[in-house]
Amino acid sequence: MAKILIVDDEMPIRRTLREILEFEQYIVDEAEDGYECLAKVQKEKYDVVIMDIKMPKMDGIETLERLQILSPETPVVMVSGHGNIETAVDAVKKGAFDYISKPPDLNRMLITIRNAMEKSELVTTTKVLQKQVRAGKGTNIVGESAPIVAIKKLLERVAPTDSRVLITGPNGTGKNW
């Protein structure tokens, strides 16, 4: 089950979001300010953080910036009742996955959470696959001769990109493998 951290200084909002997300079968944790959020993220891994922008002590934007250093792979959805388009753009530029105004449209909130988790899963899968390619686990190329080693090194450079590669050579060398 996915674990979500709600960061908001208003208890009624945290309670409402908790009830909705628990009904949707998420595990929910709460923090009332940026400092508590950062402390919880240091101790636990969250699949998504939902965070208010206007909070006492440390606001959501500053907390977001610190989260980007502490846990850059965790998607953060910013929520605010005081925001405008500039605030939303600023939050996304600083690393927020999305911005939702208060009171949140619950369907949009749930879709955004699902999208954030899917993106997070894709990033994790990509990192695992890149690591496998670098370790040579994603290939079935056998051999340690100089030409084979050169091909393996080329594959390591090209594999993480979207580039197309044309393989040429004489008949019978396994190009259409």
Q: Is it the case that residue 138 has pLDDT exceeding 60?
A: no
As beta bridge partners, residue 28 has 4
Q: Does residue 154 belong to any structural domain of this protein?
A: no
As beta bridge partners, residue 79 has 52, 100
Q: Does residue 58 belong to any structural domain of this protein?
A: yes
* Alpha-carbon torsion, ordered 141, 144, 149, 155, to 10 deg: 20
What contacts 4, CB < 8 A, 6 or more positions away? 21, 26, 27, 28, 29, 46, 47, 48, 49, 50, 113
- The pTM assigned to this predicted structure is 0.70
Q: Does residue 170 belong to any structural domain of this protein?
A: no
Q: Does residue 122 belong to any structural domain of this protein?
A: yes
CATH number where 95 lies: 3.40.50.2300
Q: Does residue 20 belong to any structural domain of this protein?
A: yes
What band does 25 get if pLDDT is binned at 50, 70 and 90?
very high
Q: Does residue 66 belong to any structural domain of this protein?
A: yes
As beta bridge partners, residue 99 has 78
Q: Does residue 26 belong to any structural domain of this protein?
A: yes
Mean pLDDT confidence for 79-96? 81
What total of structural domains would you count in the chain? 1
Residue 145 DSSP label: S
The parent domain of residue 120 ranges over: 3-129
Name the range with the highest mean pLDDT among 78-82, 85-89, 109-113. Answer: 109-113
Q: Is it the case that residue 123 has pLDDT exceeding 90?
A: no
Residue with tokens 């940026």: 34
Q: Is it the case that residue 6 has pLDDT exceeding 90?
A: yes
- When mean pLDDT is compared across 33-37, 43-47, 64-68, 123-127, the lowest value belongs to 123-127
